[in-house]
Amino acid sequence: MAGRRVVVTGIGTINPLGNSIEEYFTNLENGVSAASEISHFDASKFRSHIACEVKNYDWSKYFDRKEVRKYDPYAQWAMVSAEEALRDAGIVDNDEINRERVGVIWASGTGGTTTFYEESKGYVEGNFTPRFSPFFVPRMVADLAAGFISIKYGFMGPNYATVSACASSNHAMIDALNLIRWGKAEVIVTGGSEASINEPGVGSFCAMQALSTRNDDPQHASRPFDKDRDGFVIGEGGGALIFEELEHALARGAKIYCEVVGGGMSADAYHMTAPHPDGKGAMMAMREALHDAGLQPEDVDYINAHGTSTNLGDVAEIKAIQGLFGEHAYKLNISSTKSMTGHLLGGTAAIEALACVMAISRGVIPPTINVEEVDPEIDPKLNLTLGVAQHREVRCALSNTFGFGGHNSTIIFRKM
């Protein structure tokens, strides 16, 4: 697509594998599983007792007691991730940045479900006077994370949320890419966050039989592409990227990780939760992203697969990859980092975009762990980066995310 070029100048995260970018990248490279028994609440009443939780998090390091009352955990993850990314990009204390030209496009698939559950439960059980907290709505709604970030830093550019289930963060990043291309902003804070490891979050996915029940072996429960996979492991956290117009970044001497070159979107138009069995919509999203970037399939070196560890989804995505990439599919590295982080729902694409940044900037492909025997419906000649990280030059990395409702989104990053 013609237009201004967009680069990544800052990155930040808090997720099950780390409370900073460096900790996250180290554990990704080392193939660490973040899964364990749920500690946020007593999950014994449900079929699945496991999750990938954010660990060693102390809110008092980031917020004062009065301030934190305003923020659901999903918004806390957003603000912590954004803070790290903005400092990495050299923007927080930079008075030369025109804050009227800085936007925030943030994603969350469910928003403040913890707030909604706790407030509703408290009201029904009569634990407080018959009124809801005045912070109920701003803590609950999915758009307030973007609002909170803009308020904290005075960013007055485009500001909103994207909600498309597990495709949400890719949609946020694609919107950010296009808004900068169109001249609507010079810098956009983008990414996503989720905090759904709670009774309604886990209970609802258990009711759908979507979660792994490998309760006796949590660390090996998330096993994309494995023939014995039995569902995904729910995760939480967030990831932030600073997208910036190239000339603007060069003029201020910013560090540049990579270029954001294209995005593609499609719908399966098939089923409310199941993917198209042939991966038709997924293929369309990848093809559109390549077209948008002006690239050929042969230009891609790494695909961070959606790869949730569900029976239908993993096979459909591989079919889509092989259908689009043909013989080049055998030269690709493919991996699912959800084998380590679990599935962050609306926040998942953000931390997977960060994995692509790592692959490009450090020449390290994060592995797919926990695969003991590849599903017989998946071509064994494909390089699924099994078990251990692989080192190679990555010129171009593609990241897929797909959501309930048939939402498909693909974003592509390229080495500068």
Q: Would you name the residues annotated as active-site residues?
A: 166, 306, 343
Distance CA 45, CA 339 (A): 25
**Do 239 and 354 meet the contact criterion of CB atoms below 8 Å apart?**
yes
Burial 334-361 (b: 16+ CB within 10 A, else e): bbbbbbbbbbbbbbbbbbbbbbbbbbbb
Distance CA 88, CA 8 (A): 11
For 277, other C-beta atoms within 10 Å of its C-beta total 13
Distance CA 243, CA 114 (A): 30
What pairs with residue 104 in β-bridges? 159, 189
Helix (H) or strand (E) holding 145: helix 144-153
Tokens of 131: 């009124």
**Do 283 and 320 meet the contact criterion of CB atoms below 8 Å apart?**
yes
Distance CA 116, CA 139 (A): 8
Burial 311-330 (b: 16+ CB within 10 A, else e): eebbbbbbbbbbbbbeebbe
What is the distance, to the nearest Å, from the Cα of residue 138 to the centroid of all Cα atoms in its chain? Answer: 23
CB neighbours of 141 closer than 8 A, spacing ≥ 6?
Answer: 111, 112
CB neighbours of 393 closer than 8 A, spacing ≥ 6?
Answer: 301, 363, 415
User: Locate tokens 């038709």: which residue?
Assistant: 280
